[in-house]
Amino acid sequence: MKNSTIICSIGLYMLQMMACTPASRSEEEAQVKIDKDERMEWWREAKFGLFIHWGVYAVPAGKYGENTNYGEWIMHSARIPSAEYKEYARQFNPTKYDPAAWVKVAKEAGMRYIVITSKHHDGFALYPSAVTDWDVADATPYGKDLLGPLVEEAHKAGLKMGFYYSQAQDWNHPGGAKSRFKEGDGWDEAHKGDFDHYLETIALPQAREILSTYPLDIMWWDTPTWMNEERTRPFVEALTVRPWIITNNRLGIDGDTKTPEQFVPVTGHEGDWETCMTMNGHWGYNAYDTNWKSSEELIHKLIEICSKGGNFLLNVGPTAEGEFPEACIERLEDMGAWLKVNGESIYGTTAGPFKYLSWGAATQKGDLLYLHVTDWPENGKLNVPLSSKVLSAALLVNPDEPLGITTEAERVVIELPTDTPDEVASVVILKLAEEPVSLPVISQGKAILASSEHPDHPASNAIDGSGHEIWESADSTGESYLELDLDEPTMIQAIGMDEPDRWPRYRQNIRLEAMTESGWVELFEANTRGHGLVRKLNPIETTGLRLFVKRKEGPPGIAEWQVYAPE
């Protein structure tokens, strides 16, 4: 196969499509779709994967000086000189590392693939690299490959395997990109230099080295700082040695998957996407960070992500000795136990038809809807905002005992037993007689205005049903608002909001007001971290809503704002 055809089929599509002639373009586009669907088939079935951030940063384990809040970005955040940081490698000796044990934990958790950092932003390679001596074989007492054995064990266990590779940011090799620094600059003279020289002598040779050495299923790029089309092209060409490899969208152009980080988009995403998330506040190991998400929260995240059509890539940061923190193992065991019972409702599913459910979320597989009930109704009646005909309902754990069904205007009511089968999330299976049709969100098609709007980012973008186009205020600082006209008195019970998926994150103050018979009434106020929010409200009748947004640095902005009615 010619390289041009392979590039089209591999999914980094954009560059090649510019080169396709008009006569051949439709044929090429059809081939791209066929090839991508084939490549993505296992990934779309898998739904759940393990992310591993591991490297020299596990030695300081979060602490530098008196500060204990550092993770994998410790070198950048603390402005550590290269020579000083490299001393940590002398203490990186993971003698307790057991790749078979890691794979066993992942598999028993119900995960179907693993992605590990082959080189993070500190430039340190976890494999023996012929390109540099800043690697595990040359710079540490361990002195041998960490990644090859993991790839072998993962494939032996039937798991797919991927490498994360930081192609642009590199804080040790001269010329590597540094986030929030001008090109070629840095905090240490030793790592300043020419970015193109770095790409030509370090990043591109290492990418080729990895792709030709390891039988990978995924190449997970990160942060295309200082990248452009010309700089990206050689990396696209390097991928041709693995025609079936899956790539993400962080190389510098579109890839196979979108990668929202640390949040679940209210709207999900069109196409294939994957939320990557930490169990605490750090990607790399931090001995001082005990702010762990609970097993229940992580299971709910998995359900929510799958209900919107995505995959969940959940992170573990191993210790410098090569062990998973016990808190991570406990949570993965709990997730695995839940999936052993309820996996049918997760694996191989697509997004459910509902934008929001106050009691949980839903996934779909063919003519089956899986209702994940995380808030068991006290009155035993589960209201499903569905106007389609339902043939039957049953609990997943007891499929042979049908549940009562009542059809009402624009909803189906399921009669549930008094006690929930699972305190974390119980699953009800609905068998459908036709395609599911749910109520539209209240905000859809309504009139909206803004106190201020940038000409390129009007208020209408905030309720267009997609998080791709944003509303942004024309004011560089201060508070702006969006006002939604609901036409008539309307009952609402929740809102969902996405913020622009940009770095640095839009950390904002959000305040919601509703127009009632008594005038404007404040419903809530909250601070965000750039990840949006979903807020359940006490049901209230209103004719209009105002969403006030205040941002300290830069103009306020919203990617999507949705308003939901009671079921």
pLDDT of residue 28: 59
> Among candidates 519, 524, 354, which has minimal Cα distance to 440?
354
pLDDT of residue 475: 81
* pLDDT mean across residues, the chain: 94
What CA dihedral angle connects 130, 75, 275 and 159, to 10 degrees?
Answer: 40
- Cβ–Cβ < 8 Å for 51, 115: yes
Q: Residue 339 corresponds to which amino acid? A: L
CA distances to 349, 419, 453, 520, 549 from 456, rounded to whole Å, are: 37, 52, 8, 30, 18
| CA-atom Rg of the chain in angstroms | 25
Q: How confident is the model at residue 422 (pLDDT cuts 50, 70, 90)?
A: very high
Can you read off the two tokens belonging to residue 441?
């969100």
Provide the percentage of residues in the chain whose pLDDT is more than 90: 91
What stretches of 398-438 adopt beta strand conformation (E)? 398-402, 405-408, 411-415, 426-432
Q: pLDDT tens digit string along 80-138?
A: 999 999 999 999 999 999 999 999 999 999 999 999 999 999 999 999 999 999 999 99
Q: pLDDT tens digit string along 282-298?
A: 999 999 999 999 999 99
Q: How confident is the model at residue 566 (pLDDT cuts 50, 70, 90)?
A: very high
Domain 447-564 maps to which CATH number in 3.30.70.100, 2.60.120.260, 3.40.50.300, 3.40.190.10?
A: 2.60.120.260
Q: How confident is the model at residue 313 (pLDDT cuts 50, 70, 90)?
A: very high
pLDDT of residue 397: 98
Has domain 39-345 been given CATH number 3.30.420.40? Answer: no
Q: Which residues contact 462 (CB under 8 A, 6 or more apart)?
A: 448, 470, 471, 482, 558, 559, 560, 561
pLDDT of residue 478: 84
pLDDT at 4 over 80: no
Q: Which H or E run contains 139?
A: helix 136-139
Can you read off the two tokens belonging to residue 546?
């105002």
- Find the farthest-apart pair of alpha carbons in the chain and give their distance in angstroms, rounded: 73
Q: Which residues contact 51 (CB under 8 A, 6 or more apart)?
A: 115, 116, 164, 276, 283, 313, 314, 315, 316
Q: pLDDT tens digit string along 34-84?
A: 689 999 999 999 999 999 999 999 999 999 999 999 999 999 999 999 999
> Among candidates 158, 152, 186, 156, which has minimal Cα distance to 172?
186
Phi first, then psi, for residue 120 (nearest 5°) are -95, -170
CATH topology of domain 352-432: Immunoglobulin-like (2.60.40)
Burial class for 321, CB neighbours closer than 10 Å (0-12, 13-18, 19+): middle
Rounded CA-CA distance 352/365 in Å is 9
Q: pLDDT tens digit string along 455-504?
A: 999 999 999 999 989 999 998 778 999 999 999 999 999 999 999 998 88
Collapsed DSSP state (helix, strand, coil) of residue 485: strand
Domain positions in the chain? 39-345, 352-432, 447-564
Rounded CA-CA distance 138/265 in Å is 42
**8-state DSSP, 125:** B
pLDDT at 16 over 90: no
Collapsed DSSP state (helix, strand, coil) of residue 159: coil
Rounded CA-CA distance 239/221 in Å is 12
Rounded CA-CA distance 499/529 in Å is 9
Can you read off the two tokens belonging to residue 512?
């919601």
Rounded CA-CA distance 106/108 in Å is 6
- The label of the residue with tokens 């996405």 reads 498
Q: pLDDT tens digit string along 163-209?
A: 999 999 999 999 999 999 999 999 999 999 999 999 999 999 999 99
3-state helix, strand, coil in the chain (%, to 5): 25, 30, 45
pLDDT of residue 32: 65
pTM over 0.85, yes/no: yes
Can you read off the two tokens belonging to residue 295?
């097993």
